[in-house]
Structure 1
Amino acid sequence: MSGKQDQMKIKVFHASKEGMSLSLYALLSVESEEKCRDLLSQVVEEDGQKCTPLLIAARNGHEKAVRTILKFSPDLEQEATVKFDGYVIEGASPLWCASGAGHLGVVKMLVRAGANVNHPTRTNSTPLRAACFDGRLDIVKYLTEHEADIHIANKYNNTCLMIAAYKGHLDVVQYLLELGARPDERAHCGATALQFAAECGHVKIVEELLKHNAKITKNEHGMTPLIAAAERTRADVVEFFISRSDITREEKIDALELLGASFASDKDNYDIELAYKYLSLGMKERFSQADIIAKPKVPPISAYDYHVECQTVEELEAIRHVSASLHMESLAIRERILGPHNPEVPHPVIFRGAVFADNARFDRCLQLWLHALRLKQSNKVSVVKDLLRFAQVFSQMLHVGVELEFLPVHEVLEATVLELERDKEKIHSPGPKDDVDTIKDELESNMVTGLYLIMIAVRVAKGRMANSSSNKIVPTEQTRHTIGDNEAKVHQTVYKLVRSNATTRAGHSLLHLAVNPDTPVDDFHTNHVCKFPCATTAKLLITCGASVNAMDANRNTPLHLIVSYQKPISDFLTLHSIIMALIEGGAHMDTVNQMGATPFDSATTGVAEIILRTQKKLNLKCLAAKVVKIHGIPYKGQVPTHLEAFIELHGPGHVDGLGQRSKNPEQQHL
């Protein structure tokens, strides 16, 4: 494609984007019909969007520009990628964009021109759904009057009525109901429009849906709209529901107590006064009639400081001004009512733990966070953020000199093993709700966090912690026997980590990451304790079975990566220790990467070269493999399978007296 053609396409696109209709007409009117189609079908990537001229003009509401483009018969259904409210929308049509952006005039033009009013995006969102999301009743009416289907749901089976209810657009909800929208349709999560309206606090919409005979059902977690509203601190919705005659006394009590407990636990809507108010109302309701409804007796939870829920109005009154007790009361109530398998239970537990951490009460923080971690993993909920959060607080404790016990560190390291195994399983066999790209991101994050935790676990197992004033390593009072047991447990867990065979998109194993200077270190406390490359971690991984000859996507082995370390003098011990550990672990020094380079070729400093040279020993097996590769001797199917893999490690290249590819003499210096 010529530069002149490129310039013309850019001019057409930007004239469309800026609404310069006269310039647009001048550019297109002098071109042939075929050239116009080509110019208008172009896709320009800009600001994270990939748009055609028609789509960007429609997106920006430039009616005159759209009218001009329509004269040249563009493809009305050509899809693009756009951004709306922070969301990336793939497969959007010009009509979808105009509807979502609220440009009624453009919507009318496109529909009159023959645009498909039900053209879905990749997630099956229609132009009507986009208008419902934005609450544009005028566009909703126009589209439905021109055959837009109000019953088309997106890939989550979320309908137009649901999104309007969720966003709080009462007029749109009323209109859709009048057209026959089904209020009892259920999304894949089990929620209905009533559920969405209730949990978002839209009491008027709740009333409207109930007037249209919406049923009170439970979502996949067993939550009714009333319970969902209470959990989200939607007091208006709760009070509306409990005023209805079809709500039982037991349901009323649960809702009031959960509402109060949530006000004491919600980081965004925290209000201790409202918490006590609704907890008190719930307790009084228990004793409001002759048949008292006593609280069920449940075993106290250690993470909640073994708090036993108040059983009477007097007991609750006694802790009214004791915020610590009210907080534990609230966490216990939430877990009792919602159940330990509800994914909403852990969030306030984590929040309360963070408050303890901010006040240097690390013991209580860890108790709460470990409880939340166990709940989430038992429900197979992602804990990628939780694992990193633990690494951060562990590092903070070590850095400031607070004693850190081994057991919680080891438990979190064990949890990392389980999480990596689950990540790999989901990538291999994703479920209907799994986004593979997201899971791959999480796996990579969990691998790096796992390395942080190994470094921390090794330090704690040895009974060492950093003193904040001198930053020296000082021993704790642990016995030598305990230290030995703890180190053995670390080895066992690291062995399981290695056995997970987790790799990043770039093919990096845990050992690759441990020796790679470019492996990222989180800068929230973690960087005070962890750094890469790490000789101790690399040696431990090798001891626990990590392959020293594993190759990444570019055929680099861990040895290829460490020899590029740019601190050969200031951190000589790390460089030397890792190279020696790899070689002693069986690393092949003549393995070639994708560029045909051996580790010796990849060395960026003379120090690394010297270390390699001093360790090089001629190996007849390696030389034979290299000869086979150099001369193209057929070997597949002629030798045992394990030898095929061994020969593959050795690529072609001239071998000098050290068994290394010859280097430019100018590179052979310190």
Structure 2
Amino acid sequence: MSFTQIAESIPKIYLHSNKGKEEVSMLVASKTSGATPLVIACRNGHFYVAQYLIEKCGADVEQPGSVIFDGETIEEAPPLWCAAAAGYLDIVKLLISHGAKVNSTTRTKSTPLRAACFDGHLNIVRYLVQHGADVEIANRHGHTCLMIACYKGHLDVVRYLLELEADVNRRSVKGNTALHDCAESGSLDILKLLLDSGAVMSRDSYGMTPLLAAAVTGHYYIVNFLINHPDVTREEQIDALELCGATFVDKKRDMVKAIYLWKTAMHKRYLPGEKRINKPTPVLRKAYDYVEEVKDPDELDNLIANLDSMRMHALIIRERILGLTHPDTSYYVRYRGAVYADSGRFDRCIDLWNYALDMQQSNRQNVHPMTQSSLFSFTELFSFMMAEEGKQTLRGIVPPADLNEVLRVFTKAVEEVKFAHQKLNETKCSDEGNPTYLTRVMVITLHLACLLLRLMEDSPKTDHQQIRKAIYNFVTLDIKAKKGRRLLHLACCQDASLQWTYPACQFPSSQLAEIILEFGAHPNCKDDDGNTPLHLAAMASPCPPAVPRVLLKHGAHIDTVNNNGDTFATLLKGQKVNEVVDIIKYTKLTCAAARVIQQFKIPYRGVVPVNLESFIACH
């Protein structure tokens, strides 16, 4: 049944049943997929359903729920927020007339007014303001109604908010203003309106001005307008033109326009009668193929004949102007590396990706999805190279994965695990204390370890110690991931497999389990659900016999129970236990005795030695 059908069925249920008030109240307060019937009705514009739920069923106009807008789930959205976001003025009026709080917010602190501004519902914006909506309430990122209207390009909404004297220079948490937002989104009319209303050219926390925000997104017409602003210096004009040129190379693939912008910037550097503004002394980088920036206007024309050099110029310019901390710097380095990989130039890709990863890890303050993404991309690339090594492709023969490069990335991945664990401990009492990032990075690092073990099979013995030491350093961190799972749990869990065409290895992995156990992992360690690695291996479909055999060889108990009372044997799906392992071989007399004590509920605490109590309890 759809959300709409559920909402529409409530009045019918009420009319065609003998349910009392309490039952109806419970029904209208219940949630389906996180949403109440009223939230569903408001989201989908069913006015009469919403009216009936409120007036006849006593639905709470403030009870929030989860709804989906543009593919994104909005948590704790009040009914008024849903109606305002979806553009249903009649329902907005209905809710307010029945006492809905006009400034109620979602989990991310978004108000109904901000939701209406997002999609440009001017009629709803006006009505909400007339009924007390505060235009200055920002969401958790500090983005105001004016900022979002500017970013989405709703000129009429922006004009109305400015008439209400909304703070045109209000800053978000990251220091950007409404002027930054419209420069980034490309609305010149709104930008002019903001400037006429007193907006100033300030810098955000990355040092970006609105001019640079327009340049980095390639909005040349805004760049061309703003470089003539009286508050823009000559140096800022040069940076904007050069940065815009770099964007035309990487994003728009318009090399002619890029050369024109770079040449215009260079002429500004060397204006006759003005002080020369020379480029800084270059730092030649291996990742950029040791390319040095051109300093002569005449040499710029020659770049068009060497596209590789021109692309490196774009990366160099972006790094020089934005700095290493700006996310666009590493993003475009990664992008260029991916282009090289697609063309079969894996060495260039690896150099660029390593440089981008170094950038991300050297300037971090918190965990960042881009770092995780970089590690994932490396794992996928190395897996492809190992699976397709020696094969002829349209771009040439696929080379072998280099052991030293895999080891280099693995070491960085281990550092990311340590950092993610540290940040999780620092924020475990806050909303940011989410172990998902740590778990994901641990899984990626495990896959890299699996690649190292496969490469070790064909490598000289002199390399074995280096590989084993690196994996040992990872294992001995003994960090818990989501659900209290350690590395051995992840190695034995089918859910830890990364999804792509060329998986690094299949999970559960006996090879990984073997080396993790060899380096001191406990074979009977339990996660939050009481599952040992053996339990998780049993849940795989099918359970590969090699995995439980490795675990049992190292001392795993085959009859240990989890929190639900399940054993390895009871968790097997479509397999008989004797088809997977020789149960008699691995059943010890002590385990059998412990099972008898548990089965017949024989009192044992305080009777047997203390060190045996926990042993009996787990059977």
Band the TM-score falls in, shorter-chain normalisation: 0.7 to 0.9
Give 3-state SS (helix, strand or coil) of 2:68's partner.
strand
Aligned match of 2:25: 38
Q: 1:520-531 residue pairs with structure 2 within 5 A?
A: 520-526=497-503, 529-531=504-506
Whole-Å separation in 1 of the counterparts to 2:440 and 2:114: 35
Give 3-state SS (helix, strand or coil) of 1:545's partner.
coil
User: CA shift at 1:593, angstroms?
Assistant: 3.1
Whole-Å separation in 1 of the counterparts to 2:75 and 2:4: 21
Aligned match of 2:531: 556
Which of 209, 215, 231 matches 1:224? Answer: 209
The one-letter code matched in structure 1 to 2:520 is G
User: CA shift at 1:117, angstroms?
Assistant: 1.4
Moved more, 203-212 or 61-70: 61-70
Which of 306, 309, 327 matches 1:322? Answer: 306
1:493 aligns with 2:488: no
Assess if the C-alpha contact under 8 Å between 2:183 and 2:222 holds in 1. Answer: yes
Q: 1:499-648 residue pairs with structure 2 within 5 A?
A: 499-517=476-494, 519-526=496-503, 529-562=504-537, 575-576=545-546, 578-579=547-548, 581-589=550-558, 591-596=560-565, 599=568, 604-605=575-576, 607=578, 611-614=582-585, 631-634=602-605, 639=610, 643=611, 647-648=613-614
Deviations along 1:120-161, one digit per CA (max 9) or x if unpaired, are 222221111111111111111111112111111112221111
Aligned match of 1:419: 416
Whole-Å separation in 2 of the counterparts to 1:243 and 1:173: 24
Whole-Å separation in 1 of the counterparts to 2:412 and 2:604: 48
User: CA shift at 1:191, angstroms?
Assistant: 1.1
Whole-Å separation in 1 of the counterparts to 2:52 and 2:552: 70
User: CA shift at 1:211, angstroms?
Assistant: 1.2
The one-letter code matched in structure 2 to 1:552 is D
Assess if the C-alpha contact under 8 Å between 2:238 and 2:266 holds in 1. Answer: yes
Q: Could you say if the C-alpha distance between residues 166 and 613 of structure 1 is closer, same or farther in structure 2, counting changes exceeding 3 Å? A: same
Whole-Å separation in 1 of the counterparts to 2:99 and 2:71: 30
Q: Could you say if the C-alpha distance between residues 365 and 135 of structure 1 is closer, same or farther in structure 2, counting changes exceeding 3 Å? A: same
User: CA shift at 1:512, angstroms?
Assistant: 2.4
1:188 aligns with 2:185: no
Which of 292, 295, 298 matches 1:308? Answer: 292
RMSD: 3.2
1:279 aligns with 2:267: no
Assess if the C-alpha contact under 8 Å between 1:16 and 1:65 holds in 2. Answer: no
Aligned match of 2:393: none
Moved more, 54-63 or 446-455: 54-63
1:139 aligns with 2:121: no
Give 3-state SS (helix, strand or coil) of 2:427's partner.
coil
Q: Could you say if the C-alpha distance between residues 40 and 240 of structure 1 is closer, same or farther in structure 2, counting changes exceeding 3 Å? A: farther
User: CA shift at 1:263, angstroms?
Assistant: 1.8
TM value normalised by structure 1: 0.81
Moved more, 602-611 or 491-500: 602-611
User: CA shift at 1:421, angstroms?
Assistant: 2.1
Which of 325, 339, 342 matches 1:355? Answer: 339
TM value normalised by structure 2: 0.88
Whole-Å separation in 2 of the counterparts to 1:182 and 1:599: 63
Structure 2 alignment gaps of length 5 or more: 390-398
Q: 1:427-466 residue pairs with structure 2 within 5 A?
A: 427-430=424-427, 435-437=432-434, 440-463=435-458
Give 3-state SS (helix, strand or coil) of 1:83's partner.
strand
Deviations along 1:602-635, one digit per CA (max 9) or x if unpaired, are 674455665453356656xx78977987643335
User: CA shift at 1:28, angstroms?
Assistant: 5.0
Whole-Å separation in 2 of the counterparts to 1:81 and 1:387: 32
Whole-Å separation in 2 of the counterparts to 1:213 and 1:113: 39
Whole-Å separation in 1 of the counterparts to 2:314 and 2:458: 37
Whole-Å separation in 2 of the counterparts to 1:417 and 1:532: 20
Assess if the C-alpha contact under 8 Å between 2:184 and 2:217 holds in 1. Answer: yes
Whole-Å separation in 2 of the counterparts to 1:580 and 1:28: 62
Aligned match of 1:336: 320
Deviations along 1:630-669, one digit per CA (max 9) or x if unpaired, are 6433359985xxx4xx74243376xxxxxxxxxxxxxxxx
Q: Could you say if the C-alpha distance between residues 595 and 93 of structure 1 is closer, same or farther in structure 2, counting changes exceeding 3 Å? A: closer
Give 3-state SS (helix, strand or coil) of 2:464's partner.
helix
User: CA shift at 1:257, angstroms?
Assistant: 0.4
User: CA shift at 1:102, angstroms?
Assistant: 1.0
The one-letter code matched in structure 2 to 1:119 is S
1:81 aligns with 2:66: yes
The one-letter code matched in structure 1 to 2:410 is L
The one-letter code matched in structure 2 to 1:447 is M
Whole-Å separation in 2 of the counterparts to 1:44 and 1:597: 32
User: How many residues get paired?
Assistant: 600
User: CA shift at 1:297, angstroms?
Assistant: 0.9
Moved more, 67-76 or 148-157: 67-76
1:104 aligns with 2:92: no
Aligned match of 2:396: none
Whole-Å separation in 1 of the counterparts to 2:560 and 2:60: 54
Which one has the largest radius of gyration?
Answer: 1
1:409 aligns with 2:380: no
User: CA shift at 1:563, angstroms?
Assistant: 6.0
Whole-Å separation in 1 of the counterparts to 2:519 and 2:80: 58
User: CA shift at 1:600, angstroms?
Assistant: 6.4
Aligned match of 1:252: 237
Whole-Å separation in 2 of the counterparts to 1:371 and 1:204: 39
Moved more, 580-589 or 486-495: 580-589
